[in-house]
Chain A
Amino acid sequence: MEAAIEIEGLTKTFGHGPDAIASVDHLSLRVDKGEIFGFLGPNGAGKTTTVKMLAGIIFPTSGAARLLGKPLGDVATRARIGFMPETVRLSTFMRAEDWLGFHARLYGMDAGRSRARVKEVMARTGLAGRAGSRVRDFSQGMMQRIILAQAIINEPDLLFLDEPASALDPLGRRDLREIITGLRDRGTTIFLNSHLLSEVELVCGRVGILNHGKLIRVDKLGDITGPVQVVDVKAEGISSETAAAIRRLAAKVEFGLDGRFTATLDSEEQLGKLAEIITRGGGALKEFSPRRISLEDAFLEEIGEDGSS
């Protein structure tokens, strides 16, 4: 697999002398073409700093990186890259379509193509009716939508999103997910900075966790959240023998009211066995919901609940 992003010992230190702190500390990472990579970490972990270095907004103190095979700072490659910064309040007098048109022109599109793309991305980001509105009068969520729109206007091969959903309403989040999966389907690599873990869980294939500027874990989402171990069950007609058999099988069982119980198992294979025990014993299964450890739990465990790992 070809790499879209290769990062080698990337470091950014702010300040000088004894006050200097490494916001990003010898980060090495590789993201393959076509991947959706979730970059997680608590506030101040260095996610934004990392993306800013990759986008060429700030310069690394040391280390290097390649995007789409070209070293950082290669101007021509930027035509194939989209960058959505953390949401800012734009104060331009320009109308939404002119502002987007300006960014399309910066990508080198001619007038005709720029007009077509502006229309397309405004529709995609739910701003279709606001082409003539002034950007400065936009609400926070609309600001975030138009900042996303300028990042995808060139149909990028590599897209950086920094907290893209922080101000979006549920509809906006759905639009964003559709944009992300739509781009992935046409082969775009996406690097998503987020602490909205549920957003990450819905779209990312692989996840990296950053804390205090250091990458503490990189894994497939499924490996981080782990196998199914907990299952919520509702069943009718469970005899005391069946209940005893369940107790023997599971590592832990908590019985509730109306035949509800939650069982913690040692492995995913035991799920089938549990269902079998219940039906063999004459019980009728009404609900059977296996639970994954949420990314949130895994995340908190990785960084230490107080964030001081």
Chain B
Amino acid sequence: MKTIAVYTLRQTLRSKSMIAGLGVSLLYLAALPLFSATGGGTVTVGSAGQGTTAAAQFLGYALGGLNLIGMFMALFLTLGSIHTDIENGTMAMIITKPLSRARIITGRWAGYAALMTGYVLIIGLVLWLAVVLGTGEPFLGYIPALALVCLNVTTMMTLTFAVSVFLPAAANAVLVFLVFIATTNLSLINVAGAAAGETAETIIGNLFRLMLPVGVVGDQLHSLVVNSPGQTPAFLVPGNLFVAYEVIYIAALLQLGVRAFKRKDLK
């Protein structure tokens, strides 16, 4: 299983999508300081109050961007994984080795998970270190927020990865992208619901979030970093329950992929 995971890491690291994704990420990192320069906030060393708030807002904003870029990178890196391996005959040679089908899929998933988590952690920690060193403030709320971004990116990766057992790359991209858009938009029903004091609408909106539970964490990042949960409207708070749901969502998708793969005729 480790062999498969390492193989996945190495193959993905050399793929053109990975190189493109890293390029965009670096551009993003390079352009971020423009915000702190123009956003009215002064990230000054050792200053409290205004400067600290601005730095926290900057971190929250930057992390939101990393969340989105990471999710789309996860989508593009994994959208062809299993299906392509089956089509080009690589899987036939792997499957005939003394390794169960479940382990092959889990190993491959673990490789992608390690890669995406590593990517988010490295960029996220670089951001954090830059701000912490600049302000002298620890911004401890950022750490759980970064962990949530890792979770989000893994969720997106697992969805695309599991679908790649069934669908070719292009169909996978269409499906996951549309689910993402639909979920994000439909879940806004709860904003309207809360504004109108309609419990039913709030609940329906939140139910839509369950289809692809990445939006809630996204909403939550900012308040976690600024460390003032009170600023976030109550209906947006994910809470531990929602995080637990996201973890179960990942496990269930992976299980689905494994089960489908176990019964699948390959090429």
Contacts and interface: CB of A to CB of B under 8 A. Distances in A.
Interface of A: 52, 55-59, 75-79, 81, 83, 85, 88-94, 102-103, 105-108, 147, 150
B98 A150 contact: no
B266 A57 contact: yes
Given A58-B265, A58-B266, A102-B3, A89 B88 contact: yes
Interface of B: 3-4, 7, 10-11, 14-15, 88-90, 92-100, 263, 265-267
A90 B84 CA distance: 11
B265 A106 contact: no
A75 B99 contact: yes
A157 to B, nearest CB: 13
A57 B97 contact: no
A108 B139 CA distance: 46
A107 B3 CA distance: 10
20 contacts: A52-B266, A55-B92, A55-B96, A57-B267, A59-B265, A78-B97, A79-B97, A83-B92, A85-B89, A85-B93, A91-B88, A93-B11, A93-B14, A93-B15, A102-B3, A103-B93, A106-B3, A106-B4, A107-B98, A108-B98
Nearest to B97: A106
A191 to B, nearest CB: 13
B267 A94 contact: no
Contact of B90 (A52, A90, A105, A107): A90
A147 B88 CA distance: 13
A79 B267 contact: no
Contacts of A55: 92, 95-96
Given A56-B96, A76-B98, A106-B3, A90 B265 contact: no
B266 A78 contact: no
B263 A103 contact: no
Contacts of A75: 98-100
A102 B90 CA distance: 12
A73 to B, nearest CB: 9
B3 A105 contact: yes
B97 A103 contact: yes
Contacts of A59: 263, 265
Q: Which of B4, B89, B97, B98 has the most CB of A within 10 A?
A: B97
A56 B95 contact: yes
Contacts of A83: 92-93, 96
Contacts of B97: 78-79, 103, 106-107
Given A59-B265, A92-B90, A102-B7, 9 more contacts: A52-B92, A56-B96, A58-B265, A78-B97, A78-B98, A85-B92, A88-B88, A88-B89, A92-B11
Nearest to A74: B98
A26 B89 CA distance: 27
A90 B263 CA distance: 25
A76 to B, nearest CB: 6
A186 to B, nearest CB: 20
A90 B94 CA distance: 13
A24 B66 CA distance: 53
Contacts of A91: 88
A94 B98 contact: no
Given A59-B265, A92-B11, A94-B10, A81 B90 contact: no
A277 to B, nearest CB: 58
B92 A57 contact: yes
Nearest to A107: B97
